[in-house]
Each structure stands twice: as structure tokens, then as C-alpha cells.
């Protein structure tokens, strides 16, 4: 009897352990390796939550701890899964009750991520996707803002519709609007012939203008063509003016650099000194002529001399 009871207990334990492993989808034959991921937030992610690689369960969360201002998550993943630095790691919502898991989107590009060792861990970056829990928390914030908005609307209604002074002012405005409407209607009724006549005149003027344009379309085209020719002539004239300005600039540059006759005259200091001396001598000669007079002997024809 003791042997039967003990054997039953052992068989029950084996069945229990096998059932737990089957429910957790744990394979005893597969080997796992560890990777470390840093997330800004993990929500209600717990140790043991699944790690889904392109939607396929390939591991679980082994450890969660704070690392500075971020959250480090250590994942145990099947050794056959190759991860690169181009893969996308995200904390995802996988259940209606707010269950969490880590989703990995594989990418063939990038460098292979080294697995964790006893002496070193390589951390990769992940992102956090908001789920039902965050939505419920945000819903509370929204409800609070809705309450504030409702209070503001209620206060606005009480200060307008609920205020007798506002209602009196509103009735006055409505009465004035009715008066303005009656006056406008009376103006339209009394001046309807004038309005109709103005509309007919406008229609006639439009018709005459169209006729005038149709009759003189050739002249208008000629005017437009002449305008185009005038524009072309103006552009050519502007080009010539630009060329003339460039030529003047070149001449000025030659003069400043001492090139050409005028440039040499402007740059020759000896010529300037001689010209100044000549002017001084001429001034002295004029003064002598004015002071002492000039005696000239002119020999005329016929062999005669005159003093």
C-alpha cells in the first residue's frame, strides 16, 4: 500500500511538472542565451512574460531591474534566433487584461548582437508601446479635464443664458436685428425698379464690352506684339548699357594702372612737374610783358622797315 501511494505521488508530480512546462511552452531540449535591453518604461511587464520574435514565442523575461533612469530587461531566448542591432525591441500589450510581453522584429541588416556573458553584457535600446493600462490612466486624466471643461461651460451658461441682464440685452439685439431686416426689405421693395435697371445696364455694358473686344481683337493682339517687341528692345538696350558700363570701368582701370596715353600722363610725375614749371614760366612772361611792354620789329614787303 505504501508503495502504491508513493508511486501515485511521484506520477502526479511528474504529470504536474510536465503540464506546467507544456503550459509555459518550455522546451527542455532547446538551449537559451541571454540578451539585455534598455527600455524607457516597461509598464506592468513581469518576470516570466513571453518574448515574441516576429509573433513566435521564442523565450521569456528572466530579470528586470533599474539601470539609471531606464529599465534593463534580461531576456532568455532560443539559441537559434540571431539578433542584430537593426532589430526592433518593444514592450507590447498582448492581452485584453493588460498582459505584457516583449516583441522583437527581426532584420537581416546590421551587426550581430553579442550574447550576455558572466563578465560582460551588451545593452541594446528598446521602445515602449502604450497599452490598456496606460490608456486607462490617460482616461482618468481626460475625465478630469472633461470635468473642468464642463465646469467652465456651466459657468459660461450661468453668466449668459442664466443672467437676466444678458437676456434683456439679447432681446434688444434681436429686436434691432428685426428692425434692420425690415428696413432692408423695404429698401429692396421700394428700389426694385432701380436695382433691375442697374442690373440691365450692367448686362448691356458687359455685352458692349464683349462686342468691343471681339471687334478689336486684332488691334489688341498687335498692341501686345508691339509690347513684346518693345520689351525685347529694352532688354537689348539694357545689355548695351551694361557693356558700355563695363567698357568705362575698363578705361578707368587702365588710367588708374597707368596704361595708355592718358594713364601715362596721369601717372607721370615728371610730366606734372614740367607742366607746372611751364605754367609758372608763362605766368612770369605775361607779367614782364605787362610791365615793360614788348617791342617787335616787323619786316614788311617792298624792302621797307618799320619800327
DSSP symbols for 253-295: HHHHHT-HHHHHHHH-HHHHHHHHHHHHHHHHHHHHHHHH---
Q: How far apart are CA 284 and CA 287, in angstroms?
A: 5
Q: How far apart are CA 47 and CA 61, in angstroms?
A: 5
Q: How confident is the model at residue 290 (pLDDT cuts 50, 70, 90)?
A: low
Q: Residue 35's beta-bridge partner residues? A: 75
What is the arithmetic mean of pLDDT over 71-98? 87
Q: Are 112 and 83 in contact (CB under 8 A)?
A: yes
What is the arithmetic mean of pLDDT over 58-71? 92
Q: How confident is the model at residue 70 (pLDDT cuts 50, 70, 90)?
A: very high
pTM over 0.95: no
Annotated domain spans of the chain: 29-128
pLDDT of residue 134: 66
Q: Encode pLDDT of 168-208 as tens digits.
A: 888 888 989 999 998 998 888 888 888 888 888 998 898 88
pLDDT of residue 24: 60
Q: How far is CA 27 from CA 24, 31, 55, 65, in A?
A: 9, 8, 18, 26
In this structure, of 217-221, 230-234, 252-256, the range with the lowest mean pLDDT score is 252-256
Find the radius of gyration of the CA atoms of the chain: 53
Q: How confident is the model at residue 291 (pLDDT cuts 50, 70, 90)?
A: low
Rounded to 5°, angle at Cα 72 from 133 and 79: 105
DSSP letter for 191, please: T
Host H or E run for residue 1: none
Query: Which three three-digit cell numbers place residue 88?
Result: 526592433
Q: To the nearest whole percent, how much of the chain has pLDDT over 90?
A: 16
What is the arithmetic mean of pLDDT over 272-296? 71
pLDDT of residue 299: 42
Q: How confident is the model at residue 21 (pLDDT cuts 50, 70, 90)?
A: low
Amino acid at each position: 500500500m505504501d508503495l502504491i501511494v508513493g508511486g501515485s505521488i511521484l506520477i502526479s508530480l511528474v504529470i504536474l511538472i510536465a503540464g506546467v512546462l507544456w503550459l509555459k511552452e518550455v522546451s527542455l531540449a532547446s538551449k537559451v542565451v541571454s540578451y539585455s535591453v534598455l527600455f524607457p518604461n516597461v509598464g506592468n511587464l513581469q518576470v516570466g512574460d513571453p518574448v515574441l520574435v516576429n509573433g513566435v514565442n521564442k523565450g521569456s523575461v528572466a530579470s528586470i531591474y533599474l539601470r539609471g533612469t531606464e529599465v534593463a530587461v534580461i531576456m532568455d531566448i532560443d539559441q537559434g534566433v540571431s539578433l542584430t542591432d537593426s532589430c526592433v525591441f518593444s514592450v507590447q500589450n498582448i492581452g485584453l487584461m493588460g498582459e505584457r510581453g516583449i516583441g522583437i522584429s527581426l532584420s537581416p541588416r546590421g551587426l550581430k548582437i553579442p550574447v550576455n556573458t558572466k563578465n560582460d553584457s551588451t545593452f541594446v535600446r528598446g521602445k515602449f508601446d502604450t497599452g490598456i493600462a496606460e490608456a486607462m490612466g490617460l482616461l482618468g486624466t481626460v475625465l478630469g479635464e472633461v470635468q473642468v471643461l464642463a465646469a467652465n461651460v456651466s459657468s459660461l451658461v450661468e453668466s449668459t443664458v442664466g443672467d437676466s441682464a444678458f437676456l434683456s440685452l439679447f432681446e434688444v439685439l434681436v429686436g434691432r436685428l428685426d428692425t434692420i431686416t425690415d428696413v432692408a426689405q423695404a429698401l429692396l421693395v421700394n428700389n426694385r425698379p432701380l436695382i433691375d435697371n442697374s442690373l440691365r445696364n450692367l448686362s448691356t455694358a458687359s455685352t458692349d464690352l464683349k462686342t468691343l473686344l471681339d471687334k478689336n481683337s486684332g488691334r489688341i493682339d498687335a498692341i501686345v506684339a508691339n509690347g513684346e517687341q518693345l520689351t525685347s528692345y529694352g532688354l537689348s538696350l539694357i545689355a548695351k548699357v551694361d557693356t558700355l558700363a563695363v567698357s568705362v570701368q575698363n578705361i578707368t582701370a587702365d588710367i588708374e594702372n597707368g596704361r595708355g596715353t592718358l594713364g601715362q600722363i596721369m601717372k607721370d610725375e615728371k610730366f606734372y612737374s614740367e607742366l607746372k614749371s611751364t605754367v609758372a614760366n608763362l605766368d612770369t612772361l605775361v607779367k614782364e610783358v605787362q610791365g615793360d611792354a614788348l617791342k617787335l620789329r616787323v619786316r614788311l614787303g617792298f624792302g621797307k622797315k618799320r619800327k
